[in-house]
Structures are given as structure tokens and as C-alpha cells.
């Protein structure tokens, strides 16, 4: 398959303390710049995100000019301090948010586990969420049924499979969410730090499952 993810000059700019600019003047300036084919005028005032330093700037770059390629079959880890932009990058890859500048090219079906609760409906049971999540990933009911028993066994929550997931502990929740993503086999699986809430045995099982999946893909 070659390259399945390609990042081209990805940057993300945030304004501190606000969900939006809340300024008619700034919104108007952005609009004028856009129709003239020019870049956002406020991109020039953003500074690098140093979380341990005070700043008078309103705008901060969570990411700045990120370039990389990931090939099929590769397992990549992103390492950095808190506030370095790791989760922001994963959200961009998952299409949860868009980059301020740059482009992301992705080839394949994507499943994401970015935080506890991603992709599950709180009022549905574990069983119902397996079928819901599978449908979101593009699987047919027959495909989901064929792997249902393996998903439940791997998750270790069989006793509570008919219970609404809002009553699950965070560890149970992530166990089931990862089992769904792993056994329904998306081409690209994006995982943030959610697996940290699982116990040592579950984390070991996750590593074994990932290695088996990688070997199987490489053998095709």
C-alpha cells in the first residue's frame, strides 16, 4: 500500500482563553483576507506554546509545520511533554478538528480511541455499542456477528455486556472500546493515552494483539 498517512506542513493555532475570536473586527479581517486569497493575518502573531512561561500573546501555536509520512504496517508512537501538541495532532488525523494550515492525506479506514467515551453511546449496552461502533467503521451486521464472541472475550466485560456503558468503570469502557476497534480491524488505528486506565494484564494483551495484527498485515 505504500504511504497511508502523509502530513504536509500541518499547523494549529489557538486563541488562549476563548472558544472563538468573539471579535467582529477579527472575524471581518479574516474574511477579507480569505476572499483576497491571503493567509489569516493573525497567524503571524502566534507564538510557540511554552506552557511554563507567561505570555502577553493571545494566540499560541499548538503545532507548527509538522511533516511526516507513515507507511502501511508501521506502528508509530508520538512522545512529548504535556502541552506539546500530541493529542491535537491525533485529533487532526482523526478528523475531529481541522488544521489551521497544511494538509493531511489518509488512505484507508480510520478508527480512533482518543479519550474514554469516544464513539460509544452512553445509554446503550455494551452489546449494542459493539454493533453501533462496527457500523460506524463500515462493517456489516454479519461481519460484526462473526467476531462478536472474540470481542467480548478479549474485553473481559462479558458479565456486563447487557449493561448500559454509562455504568462501566473507565477501565471497562476502554477495554470494550479497544476490543471493538482491534477485532473489527480498521486499516488505521489511532490511540491516545486511554489505554493507561487499563490494568497491566490488559495492556499486555493489547501489545500482543497489535503485534499479531501487524504480522498478519505484513504477510499479505
Residue with the larger pLDDT of the pair 19 and 205: 205
Nearest CA to 114 among 93, 134, 128, 131? 93
Sign of CA dihedral 199, 204, 205, 209: positive
Chain segment 52-97, per-residue pLDDT in tens: 455 455 677 888 899 999 998 888 888 888 778 888 999 999 888 8
Name the architecture of domain 112-218. Answer: 3-Layer(aba) Sandwich (3.40)
Number of helices followed by number of strands (H, E) in the chain: 6, 6
Answer whether 3-107 and 112-218 agree in fold.
yes
Name the architecture of domain 3-107. Answer: 3-Layer(aba) Sandwich (3.40)
Overall pTM surpassing 0.75 (yes/no): no
In whole numbers, what is the pLDDT of the chain averaged over residues?
78
C-alpha distances in angstroms, 207 versus 35, 183, 195, 199? Answer: 49, 14, 11, 13
Show me where the domains of the chain are located. 3-107, 112-218
Task: Band the pLDDT of 198: cuts 50, 70, 90.
Answer: low
Res. 115: pLDDT tops 80: no
In terms of average pLDDT, the best of 30-39, 190-199, 211-220 is 30-39
> Which residues, in sequence order, are bridge partners of residue 111?
189
Is residue 119 within 8 Å of 112, Cβ to Cβ? yes
The rounded distance, in Å, linking the Cα atoms of 175 and 48 is 36
| 140 φψ region: left (φ > 0), alpha (ψ -120 to 50), beta (else) | beta
Residues 6 or more apart whose CB falls under 8 angstroms from that of 212 comprise none
Amino acid at each position: 500500500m505504500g504511504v497511508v498517512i502523509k502530513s504536509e506542513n500541518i499547523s494549529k493555532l489557538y486563541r488562549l482563553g476563548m472558544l472563538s475570536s468573539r471579535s467582529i473586527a477579527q472575524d471581518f479581517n479574516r474574511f477579507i483576507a480569505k476572499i483576497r486569497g491571503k493567509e489569516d493575518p493573525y497567524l503571524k502573531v502566534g507564538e510557540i506554546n511554552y506552557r511554563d512561561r507567561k505570555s502577553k500573546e493571545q494566540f499560541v501555536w499548538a503545532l507548527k509545520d509538522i511533516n511526516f509520512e507513515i507507511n502501511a504496517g508501521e506502528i508509530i508512537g508520538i512522545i512529548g511533554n504535556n502541552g506539546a501538541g500530541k493529542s491535537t495532532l491525533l485529533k487532526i488525523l482523526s478528523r475531529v478538528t481541522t488544521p489551521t494550515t497544511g494538509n493531511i492525506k489518509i488512505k484507508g479506514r480510520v478508527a480512533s480511541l482518543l479519550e474514554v467515551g469516544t464513539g460509544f453511546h452512553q445509554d446503550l449496552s455494551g452489546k449494542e455499542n459493539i454493533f453501533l461502533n462496527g457500523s460506524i467503521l463500515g462493517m456489516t451486521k454479519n461481519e460484526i456477528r462473526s467476531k462478536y464472541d472474540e470481542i467480548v472475550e478479549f474485553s473481559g466485560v462479558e458479565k456486563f455486556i447487557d449493561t448500559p456503558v454509562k455504568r462501566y468503570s473507565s477501565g471497562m469502557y476502554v477495554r470494550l472500546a479497544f476490543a471493538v476497534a482491534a477485532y473489527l480491524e480498521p486499516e488505521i488505528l489511532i490511540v491516545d493515552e486511554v489505554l493507561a486506565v487499563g490494568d497491566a494484564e490488559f495492556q499486555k494483551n493489547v501489545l500482543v494483539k497489535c503485534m499479531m495484527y501487524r504480522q498478519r498485515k505484513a504477510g499479505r
